[in-house]
Structure 1
């Protein structure tokens, strides 16, 4: 895909990062389409999402979606 963005999130503990990662994992692959996809990696207290898209509009939409999903996961787990 022609466009990509890396979303990096750092937490106070590996447990917090794992909680957020576990919360968004069911969505990985489920909301991918022919215009965008995402992969996640976690290293200790750091979570990273690589968002790839065919065009800038799809990239913006995917980034907005994943930022929202992470925000909801953080709120649900009371992570700030």
Structure 2
């Protein structure tokens, strides 16, 4: 794939622990959901997780962005549910 388009998503968290949890949860998907039209990378800088999607065309970029947003949202939801459960135990 020769990426002609790219976009980055930045997710900011209240603390490094939450950012690390989300980053580790989504980073395992790098290379797994990539295809011939798009790919992604995941990085964390303190409390910010940055997901960069690169694609050969705009349709693939949109699809990739949607997939990575859903992955990050799911990781956030599961992390928050785990925190709530730990507090109530």
Structure 2 length as normaliser, TM-score?
A: 0.86
> Partner residue of 1:16?
18
Question: Over the residues paired in the alignment, what is the CA RMSD in angstroms?
Answer: 1.0
Aligned length: 79
Greater Cα radius of gyration, structure 1 or 2? 2
Stretches of 4+ moved more than 3 A in 1? none
- Which structure 1 residue ranges, 5 or more long, are not aligned? none
RCO (CA 8 Å, sep 6+): is it higher in 1 or 2? 1
SS at match of 2:28: helix
Q: Deviations over 1:13-53 (max 9, x none)?
A: 01100000111121111111110000111011000011000
- Larger helix proportion of the pair: 2
Structure 1 length as normaliser, TM-score?
A: 0.95
